[in-house]
Chain A
Amino acid sequence: MADSQELDLIVKLHNPNTRNQAFSVLVNTHQERLYWHIRRMVVGHDDTDDILQNTFIKAFRALDNFRGESQLYTWLYRIATNETISFLKTKRLKMFVSFESAENHFAKHLEADSEMSADSIQGKLQRAILKLPDKQRLVFNMKYYEEMKYEEMSEILGTSVGALKASYHHAVKKIERYVVEH
Chain B
Amino acid sequence: MKTPLPKSEKEGFRLEEFSSKSDKKAPFQVPDGYFENLTPKIMHAVNAAQSNATAASPFGWIFRPMVWAPALSVVLLLGAAYMFFYPTAPENSLAQEELNISDLEDLDLLDDYDVVAYAEIPTAHEAYEELDEEEVMDFILDQDITSSSLFTNDITL
A residues contacting B by CB (< 8 A) are: 20, 23-24, 27-28, 31-32, 35-36, 39-40, 43, 45, 52-53, 56-57, 60-61, 113-116, 121-122, 125-126, 133, 135-136, 144-145, 159-160, 162-163, 166-167, 170, 172-177, 179-181
* B15 / chain A contacts, CB cutoff of 8 Å: 125, 144, 172, 175-176
Q: How many A-B residue pairs have CB under 8 A?
A: 107
Q: Which of B27, B42, B53 contacts A27 (CB 8 A)?
A: B42
Give me 14 other A-B pairs in contact (C-beta within 8 A), A23-B43, A31-B35 excluded.
A20-B43, A57-B49, A113-B29, A115-B27, A121-B18, A125-B15, A133-B142, A136-B141, A166-B141, A174-B134, A176-B8, A179-B8, A180-B11, A181-B7
Q: Contact between B45 and A45 (Cβ–Cβ < 8 Å)?
A: no
Once A32-B35, A166-B141, A175-B15 are accepted as A-B contacts, the answer to whether A57 and B45 lie under 8 Å apart by CB is yes
Q: Contact between A40 and B26 (Cβ–Cβ < 8 Å)?
A: yes
Q: Contact between B49 and A116 (Cβ–Cβ < 8 Å)?
A: no
Cβ of B107 to closest chain A Cβ, rounded Å = 41
Cβ of A14 to closest chain B Cβ, rounded Å = 16
Cβ of B34 to closest chain A Cβ, rounded Å = 8
Q: Which of A20, A39, A144, A180 contacts B28 (CB 8 A)?
A: A39
CA distance A144 to B43 in the complex (A): 31
- Determine the main DSSP class of A at the interface with B: helix
B residues contacting A by CB (< 8 A) are: 6-8, 11, 13-15, 18-19, 22, 24-31, 34-35, 38-39, 41-43, 45-47, 49-50, 53, 134, 137-138, 141-142, 144, 146
Q: Which of B19, B35, B144 contacts A144 (CB 8 A)?
A: B19
Q: Contact between A52 and B138 (Cβ–Cβ < 8 Å)?
A: no
CA distance A145 to B8 in the complex (A): 22
Q: Which of A23, A53, A121, A133 contacts B138 (CB 8 A)?
A: A133
Once A36-B26, A180-B13, A181-B7 are accepted as A-B contacts, the answer to whether A53 and B146 lie under 8 Å apart by CB is no
Q: Contact between B29 and A31 (Cβ–Cβ < 8 Å)?
A: no
Q: Contact between B39 and A24 (Cβ–Cβ < 8 Å)?
A: yes
Cβ of B134 to closest chain A Cβ, rounded Å = 8
* B8 / chain A contacts, CB cutoff of 8 Å: 173, 176-177, 179-181
Q: Contact between B38 and A31 (Cβ–Cβ < 8 Å)?
A: yes
Once A114-B28, A163-B146 are accepted as A-B contacts, the answer to whether A170 and B141 lie under 8 Å apart by CB is yes
CA distance A28 to B45 in the complex (A): 14
Q: Contact between B146 and A23 (Cβ–Cβ < 8 Å)?
A: no
Q: Contact between A145 and B26 (Cβ–Cβ < 8 Å)?
A: yes
CA distance A163 to B26 in the complex (A): 25
Cβ of B136 to closest chain A Cβ, rounded Å = 12
